[in-house]
Amino acid sequence: MQKQTTSWYSPSLNKEMPIACYGNYGFALLLIPTAAADYLEYERFQMLDALAPFIDSGKMKVFSIDSINNESWLNNKMEPSHKAIRQNQFNEYVFNEVIPFIRNNTSQDTMIYTCGASFGALHSMNLFLKRPDIINGVIAMSGVYDLSEYTKGFWDDQVYFNSPQHYIPNLTDAWYYEKIKASHHIHIYTGSGNYEDPDANRRFSQVLWDKNIWHDLQIWGEDVTHDWPTWRAMLPYIIANKF
């Protein structure tokens, strides 16, 4: 498997941000880390080994970036309003820097899908729903889609606009709505075992169905826990059977 790493100083985040690229051809899968992890997390936990058949065959090319959760929702020393600002800067980094980088390293017609597990699932879903014109779909594993789960009681407009569970029910803009509906790749997967939250996934699924947004929801059994063996099984299954 071909691997390349690079970085640049992000004007959105005012810091150096690395990115790892795996493979040569195919659709682009943009991996968003869990919790406070970095751009090599998926590689460390053998996810790239699990995806190797799809990467080596040219079905997809994988891109993996850093999280900034330690500089936002997971930083207990920050003012909550500053956490929300940092969240929006991360969104802009992805939209204005990472997506163009992927286009320049693939093609202008390459389909791009965000993907993440745990907190990365919420980010992946939020990024797609905010910019369905430049992101074509999402694979979200073991997530919750209510940002207030992470904000320790803080609430403002910026939390609302980054919390899919809250803003999707009120979505009325036809431009966004039709682009979201046009996606054939909204995949929401979770287990029912330790530290999973299947009810949160059912609630968000109902939010989407109430807006007539097609998606693929699967809730696996009680033996499926919130951990890397689950995600190493889920993601190859989704790629093999849904793409």
SS (H, E, C) the chain: CCEEEEEEEECCCCEEEEEEEECCCCEEEEEECCCCCCCCHHHHCCHHHHHHHHHHCCCEEEEEECCCHHHCCCCCCCCHHHHHHHHHHHHHHHHHHHHHHHHHHCCCCCCEEEEEECHHHHHHHHHHHHCCCCCCEEEEECCCCCHHHCCCCCCCHHHHCCCHHHHHHHCCCHHHHHHHHHCCCEEEEECCCCCCCHHHHHHHHHHHHHCCCCCEEEECCCCCCCCHHHHHHHHHHHHHHHC
Q: Which residues contact 140 (CB under 8 A, 6 or more apart)?
A: 115, 116, 121, 122, 124, 125, 187, 188, 189
- What is the number of residues in the chain? 243
Domains annotated for the chain, with CATH where assigned, are: 3-242 (3.40.50.1820)
Give this prediction's pTM: 0.96
How far from chain centre, in Å, is Cα 81? 23
Angle at 48 between CA 42 and CA 51, to 5 degrees: 130
How far from chain centre, in Å, is Cα 47? 15
Specify the amino acid at residue 141. Answer: M
Rounded to whole angstroms, the Cα distance separating 243 from 238 reads 7
CA atoms within 13 A on the CB side of 208: 21
pLDDT in tens, the chain (243 residues): 999 999 999 999 999 999 999 999 999 999 999 988 899 999 999 999 999 999 999 999 999 999 999 999 998 888 888 998 999 999 999 999 999 999 999 999 999 999 999 999 999 999 999 999 999 999 999 999 999 999 988 999 999 999 999 999 999 999 999 999 999 999 999 999 999 999 999 999 999 999 999 999 999 999 999 999 999 999 999 999 999
In which order are the strands placed within the sheet that holds 216-219?
3-10, 15-22, 60-65, 27-32, 112-117, 137-141, 186-190, 216-219
